[in-house]
Amino acid sequence: MQQNGNCNNPGSAHFHRGPFVPRLQSVGVHHNSQHCHSHWLPCIQRLRWVDICHNSRLSSLRDSGAFAGCAFSSIKIPKSVVSFGGNPFTDCENLEVIDFSENPSFVFIDGVVMGEEMTQFIYCDPSKSGEYVISSTVTVILREAFADCSKLLSIAIPGSVTDIGSCAFFDCTGLASIEIPCSVVKIRDCAFEGCSQLETVTIPSSVVCIGICAFARCAALRTVKIPESVAFIGEYAFDKCSSLKIASVPKGLQYAPQTFPRRVPVRRY
């Protein structure tokens, strides 16, 4: 069965990174600029300097990955910026300093960026290791917030979280365990894709939507049970889960043939 749409935007397709601009090394943001969209300066591997004018009208970095793949080691976010749509610093391997000293709209503590009221989790430093407990004030984990945090072994999601954003835990290859609380309603596209050490996951009965590729490439995952609360499950949600032995799915839930690996038996209940 062909499915249209997903948890993020009915009728939308996979996101793609923007154009590859290998030689640009510096850029200035004009004071009249107001918004930076998804992957605004994507894959500019030599970009080492960004000047966002101190009196800039820039107010938002929409979606995620605005500076994806850039080579700069530090950036200062001016006070004009009041919102992020997701993690703007994906694949910024040289980034060491994020300066929010003049911006009261965000909280930056110990390599973690959250919104002013600490309800939105925006960014986690990929070098963070071991166990991490997300603040109980957080309600939304934004897109790519923990992407490539390969040194984290476990993450505790509090019962306040209702929405796990697209690619939120993408390629957290060291993540061995995670507990999804009963408060979560949506697990968006690619949320746990590439968590190759994740052996078990319990999807709570609060979840109504599981996005495209949500658990794809979770190579250690052995079993999965989709709760009766789920009304939509995206294509390839469990694609390339090579250790998956069985999937349990409610009788009334429709899903595409490629949702699970072809060899995996699906038990209806």
Q: Which CATH number do you get for residue 203?
A: 3.80.10.10
Q: Residue 241 and residue 231: Cα distance in Å, rounded?
A: 22
Q: Does one domain contain both 248 and 217?
A: yes
pLDDT exceeds 70 at position 87: yes
Which pLDDT score is estimated for 73? Answer: 83
Task: Tell me, yes or no, whether 116 lies in a domain.
Answer: yes
pLDDT for residue 165: 97
Percent of residues, the chain, with pLDDT higher than 70: 76
- The mean pLDDT of 197-212, rounded to a whole number, is 96
Residues 154, 209, single domain; the answer is: yes
Q: Is residue 176 part of a domain?
A: yes
Structure tokens at 265: 């038996």
- Mean pLDDT along residues 75-88: 87
Q: Is the pLDDT of residue 16 over 60?
A: no
202 and 255 inside one domain: yes
Is residue 5 one of the residues assigned to a domain?
no
Cα separation, 126 vs 101, in Å, equals 21
Cα distances (Å, whole numbers) of residue 154 to 132, 162, 172, 177, 260: 6, 19, 10, 5, 25
Q: What is the residue type of 29?
A: V
Clarify whether residues 132 and 262 are in a common domain. Answer: yes
Residue that terminates a domain, selected from 104, 124, 154 = 104
Q: CA Rg, the chain, in Å? A: 19
**12 located within any domain:** no
Q: 41 pLDDT exceeds 50?
A: no
Give the count of beta carbons closer than 10 Å to the beta carbon of residue 218: 26
Question: For residue 91, what pLDDT is reported?
Answer: 84
Residues 81 and 154 in one domain: no
CA–CA distance, 188 with 76 (Å, rounded to integer): 30
What range defines the domain where residue 149 resides? 110-269
Q: Which of 71, 104, 137 is the last residue of a domain?
A: 104
Name residues whose C-beta falls within 8 Å of residue 109's C-beta, 6 or more positions apart in sequence: none
Q: What pTM, to 2 d.p., does this model score?
A: 0.82
Write the single-letter amino acid at 254: Q
Q: Are residues 160 and 214 in the same domain?
A: yes
Same domain flag for 75 and 131: no
Question: Among 88, 104, 120, where does a domain finish?
Answer: 104
Same domain, 134 and 267: yes
139 shares its domain with 268: yes
Which comes out higher in pLDDT, residue 178 or 42? Answer: 178
Domain membership of residue 6 (yes or no) is no
When pLDDT is cut at 50, 70 and 90, the band that residue 129 belongs to is very high
Residue 7 lies in a domain: no
Domain presence at residue 8:
no
Number of domains, the chain:
2
Please classify residue 10 by burial: count the beta carbons closer than 10 Å to its beta carbon, then call 0-12 exposed, 13-18 middle and 19+ buried.
exposed
* 95, 208: one domain: no
Instruction: Say if residues 137 and 161 touch (Cβ distance below 8 Å).
Output: no
Residue 48 inside a domain? The answer is yes
The verdict on 27 and 92 lying in the same domain is yes
